[in-house]
Amino acid sequence: MLAKVTSAAVVGLDALPITVEVDVAAQGLPSFTIVGLPDKSVEESKERVRAALKNSGADFPAKKITVNLAPADLPKEGPAYDLPIALGILIASEQLRAEITDSIFMGELSLDGSLRRIWGVLPCAIMTRDQNFKNIFIPTDNLDEASIINKITVYPVKNLRQLFDHFTTENLPAGMAGKIEPAKAKKQIFKVLHNDDYDFENIRGQENAKRALEVAAAGSHNLLMKGPPGAGKTLMARSYATILPKLSFEESLEVTKIYSVANLLNRQNPIIVSRPFRSPHHTTSHIGLIGGGNIPRPGEISLAHRGVLFLDEFPEFTRQVLEALRQPMEDGHVTISRAAGSVKFPCRFSLVAAANPCPCGYLGDETKNCVCTPSAITRYQKRISGPILDRIDIHITVPAVKVEKLTTASKSESSKTIQSRVQKARDIQEKRFKGLPITSNAEMSGKNMKQFCNLDELSITLLKQAITKLNLSARSFHRVVKIARTIADLEASVKIKQNHVAEALQYRPQTD
């Protein structure tokens, strides 16, 4: 007899239905074959399914079993097909009767028949809804991830035996022993978590740097910090995520999908509810950073989507790596081409880069002497130029903090307070750019700037002086105006005033 069970495959960030056809032939020598581009982990499914069926009290038929995963041209990977294959065998060998045309099944089987957590459940749950299936059966461990999707019924399955009992008691009343209780859609489990380890109130001193980070957050400007080791650059970058505007439910879904496909969700963090912070090392491979692989997976830039990408020791990143970042930063997504087609991963992140002033880190420091040769310093500083630097609006110096500042008892402003100002400034920008393809000041084109950057007379005078005195290039002129726009937004000022321009001028790179 032939059985058909529907499962799902993840392609990029989306899922497609996969039909698992199982034929148990009445004649022929006993065998077990899987066709339809299975990879090794799908091949190994045979052993798991065989043991799981036996250990769940079912029969593994000693017959010719053929499993076809359709469509055949799509590569299949991972152990998620264990459950649909086992269910197909139960039906095709007439051990079980079940009406399953409205349902999607996925899950990895242990040898004892219990189900293990799998990756990619969120895109599959979204597919279940969008393709008008009614139910999805998944491992219990994946429940939270799936149940943020409404309009479908999510069945958390503990083990194969439970699934078997569920269908054999199908026509009996709910609440019967053996029946799987469907999970309730729970949008309410979505709440913004706050990590107290990282908060601006724990950063003493560094008022200038903190202000620059506030401006960066308010206008979505990328930022570069230069300073000696131990100045707190990493702590500030981590805390930066806590002053960005709140993650909306839709954004949280976007980010969670990426983490689901990257297999980075777990029982403690089934849903990503706060802005991600990613800090790839400068030795991270191209694929690790940008994404890729035989079956494409998101890289660090996509894992930082809607959050912070922190590039510490920025001059140590190779030119090729920085060059590869350029296009995705411009597009807000990265396209990965493979023989089987291309996939797109989003990557809208805030870039925070950090660099020492010189190889030893103490150039210009008051407490320690720099031991670098002048040529080494020049070479080092030259490396902080090039492709990405054009996309960094705000440049600041972060000095070592004086000891008395560190020991003062007074607490600094909390992330919450700063974040509420940032949010207001972003709300202004959202209104401003309504109907345009941009959402923040950092993204303004020259044309946008003409329309939206209304400078008062004094600020025009100041800018003119800066152009001649500081020899500002056209590019840095644009940068200064954009940042001034953001600083004005933080004060809810429609016009850009002189003090806004004056502050913006402080954030230009020293090389300008």
**By CB under 5 A, residue 400 contacts Zn ion:** no
CB 360, min distance to Zn ion, A: 3
Q: Note if the bond before 71 is cis, omega within 30 degrees.
A: yes
Structure tokens at 504: 């913006």
Query: How many residues bind Zn ion, per CB under 5 A?
Result: 5
Q: Are 252 and 117 in contact (CB under 8 A)?
A: no
DSSP state of 76: B
Which residue, 133 or 380, is less far from Zn ion as judged by CB?
Answer: 380
Token duo for residue 375: 């040529």
260 closest CA partner among 359, 119, 354: 119
Angle subtended by helix axes 498-506 and 457-469, to nearest 10: 30
Q: Smallest gap, in angstroms, from Cβ of residue 368 to Zn ion?
A: 9
**Which one, 129 or 368, has the nearer CB to Zn ion?**
368
Task: Sketch the per residue contact string, 303 through 342, with Zn ion: x for CB under 5 A, - otherwise.
Answer: ----------------------------------------
Q: How far is the CB of 370 from Zn ion (least distance, A)?
A: 3
What is the closest distance, in whole angstroms, from the C-beta atom of residue 353 to Zn ion in the complex? Answer: 19
Cβ contacts of 352 within 8 Å, gap of 6 or more:
216, 222, 223, 224, 225, 237, 240, 308, 309, 310, 311
Q: Which is nearer to Zn ion, 158 or 379 (CB)?
A: 379
| Site for Zn ion, residues 337 to 376, rule: CB under 5 A | 358, 360, 363, 370, 372
Q: Residue 286: which of 322, 250, 247, 311 has the closest Cα?
A: 322
Query: What's the token pair of residue 256?
Result: 């969670």
The secondary structure of residue 364, as a DSSP letter, is T
Nearer Cβ to Zn ion (342/373): 373
Which is it for strands 308-311 and 350-355: parallel, antiparallel or unpaired? parallel
In whole angstroms, the minimum distance from the beta carbon of 452 to Zn ion comes to 42
Question: In this complex, which beta carbon is closest to Zn ion, that of residue 375 or of residue 410?
Answer: 375
- The span from the CA of 22 to the CA of 5, in Å, is 8
Nearer residue to Zn ion within complex by CB, 345 or 362? 362
Select 213 or 358, whichever has its Cβ closest to Zn ion. Answer: 358
Write down the least CB distance from residue 455 to Zn ion, Å. 40
Q: Checking DSSP bridges between strand 277-278 and strand 308-311, what pairing results, if any?
A: parallel
Query: Length of the chain in residues, anyone?
Result: 512
Q: Kindly list the distances between the CA atom of residue 39 and the CA atoms of 45, 81, 118, in Å, as whole numbers in the listed order.
A: 10, 11, 16
> Which of residues 272 and 372 has its CB atom nearest to Zn ion in the complex?
372
What is the DSSP track for 238-251? HHHGGGSPPPPHHH
Rounded least distance, CB 442 to Zn ion, Å: 32
Q: Nearest approach, Cβ of 312 to Zn ion (angstroms)? A: 17
Residues that bind Zn ion (CB under 5 A): 358, 360, 363, 370, 372
